[in-house]
Amino acid sequence: MDTFTHLKQLIDHVEPNKPTLLSLPQELRDHIFELILVEPMRWGRRHKHDCPRCPRTSHELESPLFLDDQRSDSNHQCRCHSRSALNLLLVNHQIHAEAALTFWRMNKLCFRSMTEFNHDVGKVLRPECRKLLQHISFVDRETVFSIRQPFDKFWNTLLQCTGLRTLELSFKPTTSRLVRKDIYKYVLRMKAELPNLRSVKWIYIGSFIVSLNHPNHDFNGHHGTTGGPERDLHMAWWQTTKEVDLETLKDEEDVKRSNREFTGDFLRLVRRAMDAKILQKSPRCDLANCPRHFKYLPDGLNDRHNEAILEIEDGSVATVRFYGLPLSPETVVDNAKLRGEKEPDVLEQLST
């Protein structure tokens, strides 16, 4: 029996003197809808325990879900990006009318390109639903800004989200002075035309190369030497944000200054603090197959401990969140139990 049929039977089947979902107080129903429909945002979503891409040991890096969720090849078996409880909205009209409000208002919707945003929000989503959106995170790493159509459509669509309360913005670097000027202009329009907007943040998601080897060992695991042809190198990701003081944005120069402070000094100081306080930088390597700049992950940085609060050199505080980390031994064991497997090696690791 699928989820939809089961939910419909539960709601339609009424026994004497027993409450139904729709007989519960509205506040309680809203809380139930929130527990069912509100999921982690796209950047922080994880592979499920039974996914082929979920690591089986704590010595592997977990591929961030936001890298896998647009694969279209038939051999790609990961479906962890799919929302799992949307059938609830199909049970009946009253459930849909109430639960849809919770879904659109409380989920933070994340987008990786203007094309994606323009299609999902501008084309597929009905205008009345656009007005319900309250939380959007936009990290554009793909759009070519010389193409005007998606750029203008993106901003016009965003300005239709009149219920928007929080917004995270990041744009692929562009050398076009006119396009940069248009971005600053649209940010000012957004401030004026979105009456519920309370928080705007610049956001950055970047990558770095990491080695799972011990920093005092060479490519072959021999202490203190530099020989050997291979090193266990992988890609990990990090994210940080900075709040924009909307009250200080009076003209385009203010927006320009705010964005440049974030993409320039702020990110540079955050990277420096990460290297000094969290990651250990590799020694210089001149071999052809070895990147000159990679990092070592410290012990304890894993899926359960993936966030750090850093005080940077200008006196401000930055929150950094890491993605693509190893699973903790505890998570590996929990996942194995959910799969009905026994992991004696991991259990032994936990006991030592």
pLDDT tens-digit readout, 68-117: 655 544 456 788 888 888 888 888 899 999 999 999 999 999 998 888 99
Mean pLDDT for all residues in the chain: 82
Residue 16 has pLDDT above 70, yes or no: no
Q: For a pLDDT cut of 70, what percent of the chain falls above it?
A: 76
**Helix, strand, coil shares, percent, the chain, to 5:** 40, 15, 45
CA nearest 320: which of 336, 309, 312?
Answer: 309
Positive or negative: CA dihedral 160, 165, 170, 175: positive
- Whole-angstrom CA distances from 297 to 228, 277, 287 are 21, 11, 21
State which of 23-27, 148-152, 292-296 shows the largest mean pLDDT. Answer: 23-27
Predicted confidence (pLDDT) per residue in 318-351, tens digit: 999 999 999 999 999 999 999 888 655 555 554 4
CA distance 7 to 332: 32
The ranges assigned to domains in the chain are 205-213+232-326
pLDDT value, residue 227: 42
pTM: 0.82
Average pLDDT for residues 205-211, to the nearest whole number?
A: 89
Between 9 and 161, residue with greater pLDDT: 161
Pair of tokens at residue 11: 């709601």
pLDDT score for 178: 67
Percent of the chain with pLDDT over 90: 47
Task: Identify which has the larger pLDDT, 143 or 206.
Answer: 206
Beta bridge partner(s), residue 236: 208
Q: Give me the pLDDT at residue 226, please.
A: 41
Identify the pLDDT of residue 229: 40
- Number of Cβ within 10 Å of residue 16's Cβ equals 4
Supply the pLDDT for residue 257.
93
Task: For Cα atoms 299, 203, 41, give the angle at the middle one, nearest 5 degrees.
Answer: 75
Over residues 305-310, mean pLDDT: 95
Band the pLDDT of 283: cuts 50, 70, 90.
Answer: low
- Number of other residues whose CB lies within 10 A of the CB of residue 339: 13
Instruction: Report CA Rg, the chain.
Output: 24
pLDDT at 13: 61
Distances (CA, A) of 247 to 182, 216, 255: 20, 50, 11
Question: What does the block give as tokens for 158?
Answer: 């965003």
* Residue 175, amino acid: T
Q: Cα(187)–Cα(256) distance, rounded to whole angstroms?
A: 10
Is the pLDDT higher at 218 or at 266? Answer: 266
For residue 146, is pLDDT > 60? no
